[in-house]
Structure 1
Amino acid sequence: MSSITFEEYLEAAKIFVAKSNWLCDGWSLKQHKDDMQMTYITKQSFIQHNEDKKSVLLKIEYNIFYHLSYGVPAFSFNVWNASGALLSLEDIRKMSFVQINQKDFYSVITQQEHPIFQRPYFMVHPCHTEELLAMFKKDSRNIIVTFLSLITPIVKFNLPMEYGL
């Protein structure tokens, strides 16, 4: 197995955000002045979702932070409807790009207290991230891009192809 160090995560995050700035994609780096390990990258956006034959606008917030226990990047997000109500875990499952049964989905996506924000967020469970990234780490130009490309089908996240160039 091959986890990454916080320093490797931070370097990849800085490069990722610089590429995002070049692409005008909206990611930003948030560094905690007293505790660097609370550094994360974030993006807020709106997405169109088709629900019951009508299109609805949803607000979404994405965060990538370093998971100290697993030694890997971790992905968290929240989604709100137009009235400001947080979507449920089942709503998130129904929005996924891939059809996945409830039991399997809930083993990958959980809702728990965010270690930085101290409030509930949906999270891609990091338990298998280390082994997935180990397969690609040697050939990866940026571990954040590699990580995001692995999870995009599950969380309906659009990663522009230009990040891989």
Structure 2
Amino acid sequence: MITEDDFTKEINIFYAISQKLNDQWQLHQPDKSSYPQTPWLSKRVITKLQIEQTSQKFSPEVIPADICEIITPLSKYITGDYHIIYSHIYKVPMLFFNLSFSNGAKLKLDEVWELTHDTIGDTDKWSFLTEDEHPILSLPYFCLHPCNTGRFMECLLDKTAGSYLLMWISVVTPIIKLDIPLIEYYKYYQLS
């Protein structure tokens, strides 16, 4: 588990490093006087999907969100909207995300499970990745369920020292195929 204060400190450090790396994360600082919410991060990424003819599984190739010209048909792209938010109930970070096709149609839960199948498999996928209401935006988003986050993070923290948030990000982002420059983030964390 991580306290709200530690999460806020780490989210600010992560955001500062993101700015140095031009990794396009946005920091949201709510007005605590009108809405008592912890700061959170968001990032929007366009991903190229390659559909394998035999299995129809998705294989993403990440493309910067600010791309000006797209040569291949837009139907092969999805937009990912990712949010890292503090769970006051579980006392851990949570990843909320939405994926949509270029025509604006949101991927269905079955399609997201197919996209993440190689990392989560079929075992108890409902308790791992599900759809829930975004705690700040009050809209339906997919999320990685936080019920086991504290337990697996305790195991990681027993073996290594470092940033709770960065270790958590390095575990969860590969699951949903969100490519971030982890090595560069770790280098900056070691310098701070």
Higher mean C-alpha deviation, range 14-23 or range 47-56: 47-56
Partner of 1:17: 15
Partner of 2:186: 164
Unaligned runs of 5+ residues in structure 2 are: 54-72, 188-192
> Is contact 1:96-1:153 (8 Å) kept?
no
| Separation of aligned partners in 2, 1:85 and 1:140 | 42
Aligned length: 163
Higher mean C-alpha deviation, range 68-77 or range 136-145: 136-145
| Separation of aligned partners in 2, 1:99 and 1:12 | 26
CA RMSD of aligned residues (A): 1.9
Deviations 1:113-160 (A, max 9, x none): 111110100000000000111123363432221111111232111121
Partner of 1:148: 169
Unaligned runs of 5+ residues in structure 1 are: none
Cα distance, 1:18 vs structure 2: 0.6
- Higher Rg: 2
Cα distance, 1:86 vs structure 2: 0.6
Describe the shift of the 1:102–1:89 C-alpha distance in structure 2 as closer, same or farther (beyond 3 A): farther
> Is contact 2:130-2:145 (8 Å) kept?
yes
Deviations 1:37-74 (A, max 9, x none): 34211101101111254981111110001000000011
Describe the shift of the 1:97–1:23 C-alpha distance in structure 2 as closer, same or farther (beyond 3 A): farther
Higher relative contact order (CA 8 A, sep 6+): 1
Cα distance, 1:103 vs structure 2: 4.8
Matches within 5 A, 1:48-63: 48-53=48-53, 56-63=76-83
Describe the shift of the 1:85–1:23 C-alpha distance in structure 2 as closer, same or farther (beyond 3 A): same
Partner of 1:28: 26
Higher mean C-alpha deviation, range 42-51 or range 153-162: 153-162
Deviations 1:67-87 (A, max 9, x none): 000000111100010100110
TM-score, scaled relative to structure 2: 0.78
Partner of 2:108: 88
| Separation of aligned partners in 1, 2:85 and 2:167 | 15
Letter in 2 for 1:29: L
| Separation of aligned partners in 2, 1:118 and 1:33 | 17
Identity of aligned residues (%): 30
Partner of 2:89: 69
Describe the shift of the 1:6–1:100 C-alpha distance in structure 2 as closer, same or farther (beyond 3 A): closer
> Is contact 2:10-2:163 (8 Å) kept?
yes
